[in-house]
Amino acid sequence: MRIGFEQKVITPKVPCMLAGYAKQRTAETVHDELYVKVMVFEQDEQYYALLAYDLLAVDHLIMDAVKAKCAGEVKIDHMFFSAIHTHSGPGGILDSEHGFLCGAKSLFGEADDEYLNYVTAQSVEALRQAILKLQAGSIKIAYGSCEGIGSNRNDQKLAGNTSLWLAEICSDAGNALIVNFACHPTVLGADNLAVSADFCGAYAQAMKAKGYAMCLFLNGSCGDISSRFTRVGSDFQEVRRMGDLLALSSVSLLKQAKPWQGNSISYAPITALLTAKQAKSVDEAKVLLKQRRQQFQIAKTQSLSVSELRLIENGVEGATADYLYALHYDGTQAYEITVEMMKIGEEIFIGIPGELFSELSNPYENEHTHFISYVNGYQMYFANTHAYEQQFYEAFSSPFAKAESEKLMKLIDRQIKKWRE
């Protein structure tokens, strides 16, 4: 197997809209650069490209443009697009004119063609450079955990996900890392007005000091995982602390890294038709939103902790999403989604086009089975039944009906068992 890697800056011009929180925000400055990070693998004359963006998410607006620009110029047989899901990156990167994302236009903004063209050009150039750098190199992998960054963000008593998987690539072109770890990059809150990759960017800087030219971050099943109950602040000092904490765990874990026997590659995408969530009436959704807002106003007068108040505010955001879904629901009965599954050696990777709950993936995730969210599309939350029953924000924000995510997991389980057998 030959490997090549490259990264290119995709930092937007400021001022620009920031995406990720219900509150509309305009970035006034840039704290740290955003990147598209590319890793290309060549095996038996087949080329596989992994592109990770320091953005909230990616969908067809970027994916189709990159594929079209590559056609006839850059040889890639399979492309996998992902995003770290920073809430301090630019808006205008998702299609909010069609489908269920219409209800979230205030969250994502309208498509910014100028910025999308810039990201596309930088992505293709990174791919070109990565291919030019293709060469044999050593790959070592390590699996362990990192405590203290994320936990279940709805209920501290529920299981979190501390799994940390690393792939260390060493060649004459330099050293790079692929990192799979689950946690919303939301150390920075809705009051932040600076462009940033959040703790993922701080982690990359910390590992650069350790000799790694590029750290490609693949967010795991973080639909229900964040730093809500673990962070001690929401400023850049806390961002650095979280990044350093992940770097410390990584350096320790890499001491135990073993050669990756990844000479065989199998690819098995799964397509599923998931039942759409039926929308409430607009009036019903409006009543719920009014109730949640009143609860939040009362809560602000009480002696609650920041995290406790944030949970109640989260309920307002969920009711807002529910109202917007009711307002824009077009009668769709089902959504087709594709899960990208790949087996390299003994390692199985499951790419979800949205935010998967760790409570769903935890029974499957282990030393050789890894979940990646925000892969090849963004269809919001894949929440478990419990989230619907408890009326969590994520269930309100999901376009799928209750229990549909469990149905999807059964299909994933079937393919995992097929490969393992």
Q: Which residues contact 72 (CB under 8 A, 6 or more apart)?
A: none
Q: Quick check: pTM over 0.75? A: yes
54 C-beta neighbours (distance < 10 Å), count: 30
136 C-beta neighbours (distance < 10 Å), count: 10
- Helix H or strand E encompassing 38: strand 35-43
Give the phi and the psi of residue 293 in degrees, each rounded to 5.
Answer: -65, -40
Alpha helical stretches, state H, 109-223? 113-132, 198-208
Separation CA 57–CA 288 (nearest Å): 29
Q: pLDDT (tens digit, 0 to 9) for every residue of the chain, 421 residues total?
A: 889 999 999 999 999 999 988 788 999 999 999 999 999 998 888 899 999 999 999 999 999 999 999 987 888 989 999 999 999 999 999 998 887 787 677 778 899 999 999 999 999 999 999 999 999 989 999 999 999 999 999 988 888 999 999 999 999 989 999 999 999 999 999 999 999 999 999 999 999 999 999 999 999 999 999 999 999 999 999 999 999 999 999 999 999 999 998 778 899 999 999 999 998 888 988 988 899 899 999 998 998 888 788 888 878 888 888 888 888 888 899 999 999 999 999 999 999 999 999 999 999 999 999 999 999 999 999 999 999 998 898 998 899 999 999 999 999 999 999 999 8
What is the identity of the amino acid at 155? D
Separation CA 318–CA 22 (nearest Å): 10
Strand partners, 217: 179
Q: What is the CA radius of gyration of the chain?
A: 20
Q: Please, what is the angle between helix 306-328 and helix 282-299, to 10°?
A: 170
Separation CA 58–CA 354 (nearest Å): 10
| pLDDT at residue 46 in the model | 87
Separation CA 416–CA 343 (nearest Å): 9
Separation CA 97–CA 321 (nearest Å): 16
Alpha helical stretches, state H, 158-305? 198-208, 236-254, 282-299
Separation CA 246–CA 200 (nearest Å): 9
For tokens 């959704």, name the residue: 285
Q: 256 is written with which tokens?
A: 């135990």
Alpha helical stretches, state H, 86-159? 105-108, 113-132
CB 270 within 8 A of CB 415: yes
- Helix H or strand E encompassing 320: helix 306-328
CB 243 within 8 A of CB 205: yes
- Residue extents of the structural domains in the chain: 265-339+383-420
Which of these, 318, 6, 313, 44, lies nearest to 133 by C-alpha position?
6
Report strand pairing: 16-19 vs 369-372.
unpaired
